């Protein structure tokens, strides 16, 4: 029988202005190559309400691109999840930046670090 094997993941996360942590998960094997460039993000993600609906009054539409750039010093590993057989999961908090690497003015983490 062919079975899928668990893949170790790493998640790049940001906590939005509503206090909800959102992110993208990637295979852990790609972490080193992704640290410098991060992963894709869109400004509309910052418009999501706690019910996962886009707030119609949001200044950010469905256009534009950002990067979620992980901070290697923020890495946390969760070893014991609800499934003891599942591999550990690594989280790295990140900053939202423009595609050229400049800080995005509405990045919650950037606002806290300023």
Q: Residue 50 phi/psi, 5° resolution?
A: -60, -20
Question: What is the mean pLDDT of the segment spanning 103-112?
Answer: 92
- Res. 93 pLDDT band, cuts 50 70 90: very high
pLDDT of residue 113: 84
- Res. 57 pLDDT band, cuts 50 70 90: confident
Please tell me the least confidently modeled range out of 27-36, 49-58, 98-107. Answer: 49-58
Torsion of CA 74, 72, 10, 29, to 10 degrees: -160
What domains sit in the chain, N to C, each tagged with a CATH number?
A: 9-109 (3.10.20.70)
Q: What pTM was estimated for this model as a whole?
A: 0.85
Tell me: pLDDT of 1 over 70.
no
28 alpha-carbon distance from chain centroid: 14
**Parallel/antiparallel/unpaired status of strands 66-70 and 76-78:** unpaired
């Amino acid at each position: 029988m062919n079975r899928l094997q668990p893949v170790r993941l790493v998640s790049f996360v940001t906590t939005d202005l509503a206090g909800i942590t959102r992110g993208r998960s990637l295979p852990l094997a790609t972490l080193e190559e992704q640290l410098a460039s991060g992963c894709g993000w869109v400004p509309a993600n910052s418009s999501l309400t706690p019910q996962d609906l886009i707030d119609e009054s949001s200044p950010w539409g469905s256009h534009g691109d950002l990067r979620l750039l992980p901070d290697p010093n923020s890495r946390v590993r969760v070893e014991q999840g609800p499934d003891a057989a599942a591999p550990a999961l690594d989280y790295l908090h990140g900053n939202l930046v423009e595609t050229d690497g400049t800080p995005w003015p509405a990045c919650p983490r950037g606002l806290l670090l300023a």
